[in-house]
Copies of this chain bind each other. A is one copy, B any other.
Amino acid sequence: MVSTPHVVPGPDGAAVLRERLGDRVVSDADVARSYATDATAPPRPAPDDFTVVRARDEGDVVAVLEHAQATGTPVVPQGARTSRAAGAGALDGAIVLNVEALGGVRDLDPLEGLAVVGPGLVNADLKAAAAAAGLFYGPDPASWRTCTIGGNVATNAGGLCCVKYGVTADWVTALRVVLPGGEVMRTGHRTAKGVAGYDLTGLLVGSEGTLGVVTEVVVRLRPAPDPALTALGVFDSLDAAVAGVAALRADRHRPCLLELMDRTSVRAVQAFGDHGFPDDAEAVLLVQADRPGHVAQDVARYAELLSAAGATDVAVADDEQESQALLEGRRVMSTAFEAMGGRIAEDVCVPVGRLADLVRGIQAVATDEQVLVPVGGHAGDGNLHPSIVYDPTDPDAVRRAMRAFDRIVRLAWSLGGTMTGEHGVGALKAPWLEEELGRAEVARQRRLKAVFDPGGIMNPGVVFEA
C-alpha cells in the first residue's frame, strides 16, 4: 500500500527547505507519491515519509545538497524514473531530488562536435537536436522516448545501437556535478583531448546517483548515419541463430542493431498479436545497417549471412516503413510480456561466444523453476534481457521467480559475464554486487564513494547495500 508522504523529513528540515526552495518542494501528497517509484518490476512499496523537490536550476540542487549534508538527510536523485533496477525510488526519510526540469540543449557546436545539455533532457530530444544539425547522438535505451540524459549518465545506459556505437560512457566528455554539501565539481573537458588529472567523468558515469547530482552533461556528436534498413531471420535452431550473430559481428561493416528473440519470446509476441513469426521458430534475429551510401548493400549482405547461418526464412526491408514493420515484433516484446503477469527484467551480459549457452541455460532454469522466461535483447553485445514472467498473486510463483532471477545471475557469472550489462545495479541487484566484484573490491568502491559523499547520503542502498 502507498501511504501518504510527509512533506519534509522533519519539522526543522521542512521549514529550512521550504524557505529556500518555496514551491519546488512538492506539497501535494498525491503529486509527491507519483515520484515515489520507478519502472522496476516487481514494484517496490513506496515509503511513508519522504520529500520531493523538483529542482528548476543548479542553485536548487546546491540548496538541497547543502541542506541534506547539514542534516544527514538521504538524497535520491531522479529523472524520468525509467530505472528497471530500483535506482531512483524514494526512501523513508529521504529527499527525492527530481531534475527533469533541468533540461534543454544549452549549446550545440558542430565544429567541436559536442552538445551541452541539462540532465533532464529526454534522450529522444537530444537525438532530434543533433539530427537537426546533421549530427547524431548514439545511445538509445529502449526507453529513449522518455528517459533523460541524466539517468542515462547515472546508469551508463546502453540500448540497441551499442553493437556499433557503444554506450553512454563512450559519448560523455564532461560533467557538472553537485556534491553533498553543495560544492559544484567539473569533470572532463570540452576539448577533443585532455589528460590533466584523473578521469572523473568515467567514474561518475554509471555511478547511479551515489556520488553526486549531475547538472550538466557534455556529449560528443558524430555525423549522422543514413536511415537504417532492417533484415529479419527466422531460425529453427538456436545454434544457427548464434552462428548468425557471430557472422554478422565478423562483417567488416558492423550492423547498428543486432537483436535476438528466443522461442518463448516469439510465442509471447505472437500471442499478443500476429507479427508473422512462425510459432515453431526457435529464434529470430533482427539486424540493421546504416552505413552512409551502403545501407541497401549492407542489409542485403546481412540477409545472406543470416541465410548462410541457416535461417529458414529471411525478410529484408526495402524502405523505412518496412523496416519499422519488421522491428514491430521486437518493439512490442516488453508490452507483450507485461500483459502476461508480473515480470522481472533481467539484464545479463556474457561474451558473445557464450550466447547459446546463456539462452539454453535460461531455458533450463525456466523449466526447472516452472516460470516463463522469454529471452530477448542485444545479441550483438551478448547482452540479453530475460523476462521472468510469473503470477504475482501466487506466493510460491513469486518465490520461484526470485529463485530463477538468482540462478540466471549465477549462470551469467559462470559464463564469464556480468549480472548487469546496462540497467545498473540499483537497489535490485545490490545484494549480489559483492559476489560479482569480490569483497575487497566493493570495500574499495565504498571508500571511493566516501571521498565524494563522506556522510553516505547519496542514494543509499543503491549499488551498495545500505
Contacts and interface: CB of A to CB of B under 8 A. Distances in A.
Given A206-B198, A441-B197, A451-B448, A162 B420 contact: no
Given A191-B350, A250-B110, A451-B451, A207 B196 contact: no
Max chain B CB contacts within 10 Å: which of A109, A112, A198, A381? A198
Contact of A246 (B111, B163, B201): B111
Nearest to A225: B252
A194 interface: yes
Contacts of A202: 169, 199, 201-203, 205
A239 interface: no
Given A183-B440, A196-B418, A196-B419, A352 B112 contact: yes
Given A191-B350, A202-B202, A292-B252, A196 B416 contact: no
B252 A433 contact: no
Contacts of A170: 170
Nearest to A436: B196
Nearest to A198: B445
A196 B420 contact: yes
Interface string A362-387: 00000000000000001011110000
Nearest to A425: B196
The size class of the interface chain A forms with chain B is 35 or more
Taking the full assembly, how many copies of this chain does it contain? 2
A111 to B, nearest CB: 5
Given A191-B418, A192-B383, A197-B441, 9 more contacts: A113-B249, A167-B193, A189-B349, A190-B416, A193-B378, A195-B206, A196-B418, A223-B252, A223-B254
Interface of A: 109-113, 134, 155-156, 158, 162-163, 167, 169-170, 183, 185-186, 189-203, 205-207, 223-224, 246, 249-254, 292, 349-353, 378, 380-383, 416-425, 429, 433, 436-437, 440-442, 444-445, 447-448, 451-452, 463
